[in-house]
Amino acid sequence: MPIHPALFTVRNIHSNDLVSLYSSEQYHVLIFDGRGVLTVDFTDYPFDGKVIYFASPYQHFKITAATAFPIHFIAFHGDFYCIEYHKEEVACNGLLFNNIFYTPHICLEESVFEEFAQLTHKLSMEIAAKNPHSIAVIKAYLQLILAIASKIKNEELGKVLPPKASHPAIEKFKPLLEEHFITHRQVSFYANELVLTPSVFTKKSREFYGKSPSHLIQDRVILEAKKLIHLTRKSMKEIAAILNFKDEHYFSRYFKKKTGITPSLFREKVGISIVADLSTK
């Protein structure tokens, strides 16, 4: 039986196909070789060479290329492959996907790029074959791509991050944000906790994380909202209360401004993960 493209698809596209912001309810993996700027949720990431990029549902992205190039494009729905359910096999959630602090793409060596290209070709062949066992094989190939990329990303983070001594205060922002993002969303609060002026704090945050503190605060709130919408069966009113919004209408406006979609429609399109029911057992 063929796999519906709403659940899984792999195809070859062109950088010209992504000159405008694109998003959907699916997870995306893009593999390409070129030079330009990858824009993700209005943050720019320059690239030059062989790259693999990961996008979560309703992340907005586009590519501005110096010269047009082909892209291996993989898209899958959480109902087809649940990254939360498979976290023991592939710890990619928070590393490849839903990672607000570091670059969403990985620069690849020639050999790894070729390996990924071969795997996408094998995915295409399995889809075309329409074999009864194809779904299991496709999931295995997809998991292999995610596992290899997760390994590379972990190694990359250990090598390319600036020495801790370079930003002794700003490096404390991440755990501080994790502790207080629900109750404190003002840049001034975090600047005060780090004993920095807001302007210095903003400058150092851009240097270290590539984003302003206000951007990161909003990203962290939205990430938690997506988790609660996708990984639980809580009502929007309950989620709004958990996230310290005065009501579900204000929460809905906040969420839509950042994602372009309401929380209710996000749940309808992305669905509720099987993890939601497993956690209640």
From 160, 182, 204, give the residue that closes a domain.
Answer: 160
From 160, 181, 214, give the residue that closes a domain.
Answer: 160
pLDDT at 165 > cutoff 50: no
Please give the mean pLDDT across all residues of the chain: 92
Average pLDDT over residues 77-104: 92
Question: For residue 70, is it within any domain?
Answer: yes
Burial of 46 (0-12, 13-18, 19+ CB in 10 A): exposed
Question: For residue 3, is it within any domain?
Answer: no
pLDDT band (50, 70, 90) for residue 163? very low
Residue ranges making up the domain that contains 184: 164-278
pLDDT band (50, 70, 90) for residue 279? low
Residues 53 and 131 in one domain: yes
Share of the chain above pLDDT 70, in %: 95
Residues 169 and 49 in one domain: no
* DSSP three-state, residue 85: coil
Question: For residue 34, is it within any domain?
Answer: yes
Distance CA 241, CA 188 (A): 23
Non-local (6+) Cβ contacts of 6 within 8 A are: 26, 77
pLDDT band (50, 70, 90) for residue 160? low
Residues 113 and 216 in one domain: no
Of 29-38, 44-53, 206-215, the least confident: 206-215
From 132, 160, 188, give the residue that closes a domain.
Answer: 160
Question: For residue 58, is it within any domain?
Answer: yes
CB atoms within 10 A of CB 188: 12
pLDDT at 107 > cutoff 80: yes
- Quote the number of domains for the chain: 2
Average pLDDT over residues 38-57: 96
Residues 70 and 177 in one domain: no
Residues 14 and 150 in one domain: yes
The whole-model pTM stands at 0.92
pLDDT band (50, 70, 90) for residue 96? very high
Residues 154 and 190 in one domain: no
Question: For residue 267, is it within any domain?
Answer: yes
Distance CA 156, CA 106 (A): 8
Question: For residue 2, is it within any domain?
Answer: no
Residues 119 and 223 in one domain: no
Question: For residue 1, is it within any domain?
Answer: no
Q: The domain spanning residue 215 has which CATH number?
A: 1.10.10.60
Average pLDDT over residues 249-268: 96
pLDDT band (50, 70, 90) for residue 115? very high
Distance CA 262, CA 245 (A): 15
Residues 119 and 225 in one domain: no
Q: Which residue has the higher pLDDT, 171 or 106?
A: 106
Burial of 250 (0-12, 13-18, 19+ CB in 10 A): exposed
* DSSP three-state, residue 178: helix
Question: For residue 177, is it within any domain?
Answer: yes
Q: The domain spanning residue 124 has which CATH number?
A: 2.60.120.280
pLDDT at 164: 45
Non-local (6+) Cβ contacts of 147 within 8 A are: 89, 90, 92
Residues 46 and 76 in one domain: yes
pLDDT at 97: 96
CB atoms within 10 A of CB 5: 13
pLDDT at 88: 85
Residues 170 and 259 in one domain: yes
Residues 154 and 34 in one domain: yes
Per-residue pLDDT tens over the stretch 137-157: 999 999 999 999 999 999 988
- Residue carrying structure tokens 């207080």: 180
Per-residue pLDDT tens over the stretch 166-224: 577 888 999 999 999 999 999 999 999 999 999 999 999 998 888 999 999 999 999 99
pLDDT at 134 > cutoff 60: yes
Residues 141 and 234 in one domain: no
